[in-house]
C-alpha cells in the first residue's frame, strides 16, 4: 500500500532574516501577500505579521519528520516528489505549512485509505516517543471543496496541552494536497484559520 504523507513537526526555529519568498517554495508564486499555486489551482492571502519560512528550515522539518515516520513504520519513504508550497509562521509554536505530492489513484477510495493510515501512523510515531497524544478526524468544506481533517493534540509530561495540529488533506488534480496548522493560542489559530478558510480554488 502506498503511503504518501504530509510531514507534521513539533520543534523548529524561527528564521528572522529577510528572504525572497519565491525562493522558499517549490511550486506557485507569492506576489506581495498573495500565494497562487497553478498545479493545485489554489489562491490564499498571507495574514499580516506572519513571516515566510526559510527553505533551510523547511528541509530540516521534512528530514526530521521523514526520519521519525520511517523509523516508526519500518519503511524507507521516498519523499522525492514532495513539494513545499506556502509556508509561514508567527513564532516557534504557530506555523502554517502546505505541501503537495503526486498521488496516482489506482482504485476508488485509495486516497481515503491512505489518509486513515497517516492518522494511525502519526499516533504511533508520537506514542512511541513517549508523547501523550489524542487524534480525531472530521470533514470541512473550503470554497465548496470537502477536506478530510486530522486533529492532533499533544501533551507534556505534566498533562498540559503543548500543541494542537490540524491537518487538512484532499486529492486535487492528481496530487495529495495537505495543509497543516500548528498552534497553541486562539488568536494565532484564528488568524491562520481565517486566511485558510478564505482560500479560493479553481
pLDDT given at position 57: 86
Q: Give pLDDT tens digits for 92-141.
A: 999 999 999 999 999 999 999 999 998 998 899 899 889 999 999 999 99
CATH of the domain at 100: 3.40.1000.10
Domain range for 131 is: 26-201
| The model's pTM | 0.86
The percentage of residues in the chain with a pLDDT greater than 90, rounded to a whole number, is 74
pLDDT over threshold 50, residue 180: yes
Find the mean pLDDT for residues 19-37.
95
Q: What angle do CA 173, 75, 53 make, to 5 degrees?
A: 55
pLDDT given at position 79: 74
The percentage of residues in the chain with a pLDDT greater than 70, rounded to a whole number, is 90
Sign of CA dihedral 126, 130, 131, 135: positive
SS3 86: strand
* Helical packing angle, 110-127 and 55-73, nearest 10°: 90
CA 112 to chain centre: 17
pLDDT given at position 18: 64
d(CA 182, CA 54): 17
Count: domains in the chain: 1
Find the mean pLDDT for residues 175-188.
97
pLDDT given at position 3: 46
> pLDDT confidence of 64, banded at 50, 70, 90?
confident
C-alpha cell at 146: 470537502
143 lies in some domain? yes
d(CA 152, CA 78): 24
Give the mean pLDDT of the chain: 88
Is the CB of residue 7 less than 8 Å from the CB of residue 13?
A: no
pLDDT given at position 59: 80
C-alpha cell at 31: 506576489
d(CA 68, CA 80): 17
pLDDT given at position 103: 96
92 lies in some domain? yes
10 lies in some domain? no
Matching residue, cell 509561514? 88
12 lies in some domain? no
Q: Residue 58 class from Cβ within 10 Å (0-12 exposed, 13-18 middle, 19+ buried)?
A: buried
31 lies in some domain? yes
Amino acid at each position: 500500500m502506498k503511503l504518501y504523507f504530509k510531514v507534521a513537526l513539533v520543534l523548529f526555529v524561527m528564521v528572522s532574516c529577510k528572504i525572497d519568498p519565491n525562493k522558499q517554495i517549490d511550486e506557485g508564486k507569492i506576489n506581495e501577500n498573495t500565494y497562487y499555486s497553478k498545479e493545485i489551482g489554489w489562491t490564499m492571502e498571507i495574514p499580516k505579521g506572519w513571516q515566510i519560512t526559510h527553505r533551510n528550515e523547511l528541509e530540516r522539518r521534512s528530514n526530521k519528520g521523514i526520519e521519525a515516520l520511517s523509523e516508526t513504520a519500518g519503511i524507507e519513504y521516498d519523499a522525492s516528489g514532495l513539494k513545499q508550497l506556502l509556508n509561514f509562521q508567527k513564532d516557534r509554536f504557530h506555523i502554517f505549512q502546505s505541501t503537495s505530492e503526486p498521488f496516482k489513484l489506482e482504485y476508488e477510495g485509495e486516497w481515503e485509505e491512505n489518509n486513515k493510515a497517516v492518522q494511525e501512523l502519526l499516533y504511533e510515531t508520537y506514542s512511541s516517543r513517549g508523547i501523550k497524544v489524542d487524534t480525531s478526524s472530521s470533514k470541512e468544506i473550503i470554497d465548496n471543496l470537502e477536506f478530510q481533517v486530522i486533529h492532533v493534540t499533544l501533551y507534556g509530561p505534566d498533562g498540559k496541552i503543548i500543541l494542537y495540529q490540524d491537518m487538512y488533506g484532499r486529492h486535487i488534480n492528481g496530487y495529495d494536497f495537505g495543509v497543516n496548522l500548528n498552534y497553541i493560542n486562539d488568536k494565532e489559530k484564528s488568524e491562520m484559520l481565517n486566511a485558510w478558510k478564505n482560500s479560493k480554488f479553481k
